[in-house]
Every structure is written in structure tokens, then in C-alpha cells.
Amino acid sequence: MSKLKELARNCLQVAPFILSNTIIFIPYFLFLNLSDGATLERVLPFVLFYTFRMTGIFLLKSFKLALTSFNVLIISILIGGAGCLVGMLGQFYFPAYLFSAVLIGLSASWLPAANTTVNYHEKQQGYSALTGRKYLFILLILGGVIASLMLTKELRIPLVLGEYTLLYIAAYHTVTHYPDYEIDFNEVDKQVISIKEFFLFLFFFVLLLFIRSARLLFDPQLLDVGIIGFSVLFVITAWYLNRQRKMWKLPLWLNLLTFANGMCMNFLLLFGTFYVSLRLGIDCLTANLYVPYIIGIIGSAVVIKFLYRLFPKVDVRIVHLGGFIFSLFLLLFRPLFPIGIFLLSCFISATGNFLNQKYYQEENLPQDTRIITKFSTQTKGSVTHQLLLMSILWLLAKQAQLPVKTVLQITAHRTHNPVALQLVEHVHIISIIGLMLFYSFIFYEVVKHEQNESK
């Protein structure tokens, strides 16, 4: 009996880790499978999940409630569990998927940041729910979820959502038994809304809603509205940041590196997916993108520790920046593309962990909002890169006198037009050179920051 209890306890304790690391892409895959590319109703669940997942962190920052990260974690677990439970009814009543997509999207946006912060708090108190031997249980549970994803659509969606409902229940049981926390929703600040963050949430939400709907429905008018809206936002943001720069609480290099990490993640997954599909064939996606990406995440700790030992006298920030520039350079050569993806994935993951530590130690920010601020800045980079990428595709298509619908076909991996394929190659080169220049600028800021600190 004691062994069964220990087995159940281990399964319960790994649930927050599994949710934090999979809630972003598993529902993405499930809701995308609902889309038929023709009707708005079938497209909306995916669009709603994606937009709330990407912009929910801004909504969280806009509410100036006196909630701890633990409270946010509890809320994200409760709404995520409710979303999965409602989603199971979608097979019988399709609008249930819409409510499910909103709730799971918000949970996917809030849970990773809150869970990371709580884990840091717990480690400071000498408690860690995730020990080495529990990785076996993680692999077993993930194996069950992956096996469910291989089933037919009719069985796959309700079964996986049912499994995630159980994971959310297990996560709730686990986090409510952490020794150093108690739930308290009573205390609230007088100013409830941050206008700036709420405006950012609304604007990004609407833009992503237009662009994602355009891509899935092949509607050029929706794309035009999204691109024009992004251009207006870009100009306003550039003006605002120039005015507010001297008031920033964090060093410029830290903000820029976090922003760039989000941009690189979006470049790897979004652009990498349709670039490999169009240039090498959709059958090559697994070998050339997904496998190197996953191996990179798993091997990131080993790779970065090796580089730290190889360059012991070099600032660790320089090691990370040099790794990004080298990885991006490899992506310019098609035979080296999988190696470049592997290394880029390594540095995205390693830099994410490095930034988590830096933000958590940043005394200029309230302790409970440090990791949330990092995730917010990273998400801004990801959203900005996506909108920039679509804008560049749109502009180059106009210059090449291609219909805007061709841009949407490119992003859906559905074109064999030689001119369109050449356009993708141009975007590939522009994106990589642009990111390399951005990291070079961050390199300059790091060096300048070090020189100022040493004076």
C-alpha cells in the first residue's frame, strides 16, 4: 500500500512541470486540427486559443491586483482545468470549443511564468517537488499523451483534453500542498487597471486575431487590416519607447536580450515550419526541424556548461550572444540547417533559464512580478517578430506583383509558385541577417554596460 501511495504522489508532483512545458503546444495542435480552412466557426477555436495564449500575459500585467504568483498559479490551474472539461463537450456541442479555447489559452499564458516563480520561491526555502528520479514519471505520462495524439480526431481531442483535466486536478493538489504558501484573494490595490498594459493586450489581441484568421481563411482583406494596424502600432511604440527609455528599471541589454529570445523562438517555430515545408517538403519537417529542436532543448544545459568551461574568462552574456550569432549564421546554408536549428534551440532554452535567474534576482522589481515581466517582454518579442515577418512577406509580395493570397498560401505551406519560393528565400536571408545585427547591437550594449560598471 505504501508503494502505491508513493507512486500516486510522484505522479501528482510532476503534473505542474508537465503542464508548464506542454500546455502551449499540445492544445495548439488539437485546436488546429479542428480548422477546415473554409468556415469561421471551425477556425475560431484555434484563433482564440492562439491569441489569448500570446496576449494573456499582458492582460495579467494590466490587472494591478495584490495577488502573489502562487495565487496566479492557482487561478491558471483552475481556469485551465475548467477549459479542458468544457472542451470535452465539444464533440457534442461545437461552441463549447470556443469557451475551452479562451480558458486554456489564458492558462497557457499565465501558468509557465507563475509556476517558474513559485519554483524559485520554493527552492529558496529548501523545497523542490521535482527530483531526478521523478523524470521517469514525466516520461511515462508524456508517453501516454503522445499515444493519445496518434488516435483519430474523434477520439484524440476528448481523450487528450480528459488527460489534461486529470493533470490540472493533480497540479492543484500538488501546489496547494506546497509548505510555504497559502491562498489569499482578499487584498486588492485601489488602482485595478494598468491602462498601458491593457491597451497593449487589446491591440495585440486584435492584430493577431486578424492575421491568424486571415492565414487560416485565406482572406487577403483581413491580412491587409492586420499589417496596417501593426505599422501604426510600430510607429507609436517606437516614439513611446524613445521617450520612456531613461525611466526603465532594468538595464537595456537585459530588456533587449529577453525581447530577442522571444523573436528567435518565433523565428524557429513559425518561419522554420513553412520554410522547411516549402523548400524541403513537409515530410522533412520532423528530421530537419522538430527533432533538432527537441534535442536542443534536452541538451541545452550540457552545451552551455561545456561552453562556460571552454571560455571561463569570457562574460557568460557574450557566450550566449556569440552562440546565437553562430547558430543563425549556420542557418544560411541549407545542408547545415538541422545543426543550426539544434544550436539555436540550445541557446534559446539556455538563455531562457539564464534570464529567469537574472530577473528573479532583480531587486528593482517586486519579487512576484519579476518572472512575469520576463515572460511579458519575451512575448512582445515573439509577437513583434510574427507581425514583422508577415509585413515583410506582404511587402515583398507587393513588389513582386504577387497577389496577397500567395502570402497566405506560403504560410500554410500550399504554394509551388517559383516566384513565391524565391520570395521565401529572400525573407529567410533578411530574417537571419536582421536577427544577427540585432544580437550584434545587444553585444555592443553588454560591452558598454560592463565598461560603465567598471568605472
Spatial distance between the Cα atoms of 85 and 91, rounded to a whole number of angstroms: 12
What are residue 312's phi and psi, to 5 degrees?
-65, -25
State how far Cα 345 lies from the chain centre: 13
Alpha carbon distance 420, 409 (integer Å): 9
Residues 315 and 426 in one domain: yes
Measured between alpha carbons, how far is 14 from 10 in angstroms, rounded to an integer?
A: 6
- The verdict on residue 285 lying in a domain is yes
**How far lies 260's CA from each of 126, 178, 265, 284, in Å?**
33, 34, 9, 27
* pLDDT tier for residue 189 given thresholds of 50, 70 and 90: very low
Amino acid identity, position 299:
G
Q: Are 304 and 345 within 8 A, CB to CB?
A: no
| Digit-coded pLDDT (tens) for 123-137 | 776 566 555 566 677
d(CA 122, CA 115): 10
In a domain, 178, yes or no: yes
- For residues 234 and 392, is the Cβ–Cβ distance under 8 A? no
pLDDT band at 192 (very low <50, low <70, confident <90, very high): very low
The three-state secondary structure class of 330 is helix
Question: Does residue 115 form part of some domain?
Answer: yes
Candidates 205, 184, 183, 167; CA nearest to 80 is: 167
Are 346 and 300 in contact by the 8 Å Cβ rule? The answer is: yes
**Given a cut of 60, is residue 453 above it in pLDDT?**
yes
> Is the per-residue pLDDT at 328 higher than 60?
yes
Are residues 258 and 384 located together in one domain of the fold? Answer: yes
Quick one: how far is CA 154 from the chain centroid? Answer: 28
Q: Is residue 225 in some structural domain?
A: no
User: How confident is the model over 135-173, as pLDDT tens digits?
Assistant: 677 778 777 877 877 777 778 888 989 989 999 999 898
Phi/psi at 63 (5° precision)? -90, 110
Q: Which residue has the higher pLDDT, 110 or 191?
A: 110
- 264 and 353: one domain? yes
Low-confidence winner among 55-69, 180-194, 224-238, 341-355 (lowest mean pLDDT) = 180-194
Most confident range, picked from 17-26, 208-217, 245-254: 17-26
On whether both 252 and 171 belong to a single domain, the answer is no
Percent of the chain, pLDDT > 90? 19
Q: Is residue 305 part of a domain?
A: yes
Distance of CA 238 to the CA centre of its chain: 23
Residue 432: which CATH number? 1.20.1250
Q: Is the pLDDT of residue 440 over 90?
A: yes
CA angle 127, 367, 175 (to 5 degrees): 40
Radius of gyration of the chain (CA): 22
Q: Residue-wise over 306-340: b if at least 16 C-beta within 10 A, else e?
A: ebeeeeeeeeebebbbbbbbebbebbeeeeebbeb
The mean predicted confidence, pLDDT, of the chain is 77
Domain count, the chain: 2
* Alpha-helix residue ranges (DSSP H) falling in 125-152: 135-149
The burial of 14, by beta-carbon neighbours within 10 Å (0-12 exposed, 13-18 middle, 19 or more buried), is given as: buried
pLDDT, tens only, 254-270 = 989 999 999 998 888 77
Residue 235's pLDDT is 52
| pLDDT digit string, tens, across residues 267-288 | 887 788 777 877 777 677 777 8
Higher pLDDT, 284 or 1: 284
pLDDT value, residue 190: 42
- Phi-psi region at 363: left, alpha or beta (left = phi > 0; alpha = psi -120 to 50): alpha
| Distance (Å) of CA 445 to CA 259, 316, 375 | 14, 14, 21
* One domain for residues 275 and 418: yes
Q: 412: pLDDT confidence band, cut at 50, 70 and 90?
A: low
Mean predicted confidence (pLDDT) in 319-345: 92
**d(C-alpha 408, C-alpha 212), whole Å:** 10
Grid coordinates of 49:
486559443
- Res. 343 pLDDT band, cuts 50 70 90: very high
Same domain, 194 and 272: no
Stated pTM of the model: 0.78
* Residue 439 within a domain: yes
- pLDDT, position 194: 55
In angstroms, what CA-CA distances link 96 with 48, 77, 90, 121, 249?
A: 12, 19, 5, 37, 43
pLDDT over 70 (residue 408): no
The CA-CA-CA angle for residues 112, 115, 119, to 5°, reads 135
Task: Name the residue range of residue 375's domain.
Answer: 248-455
Whether 88 and 183 share a structural domain: yes
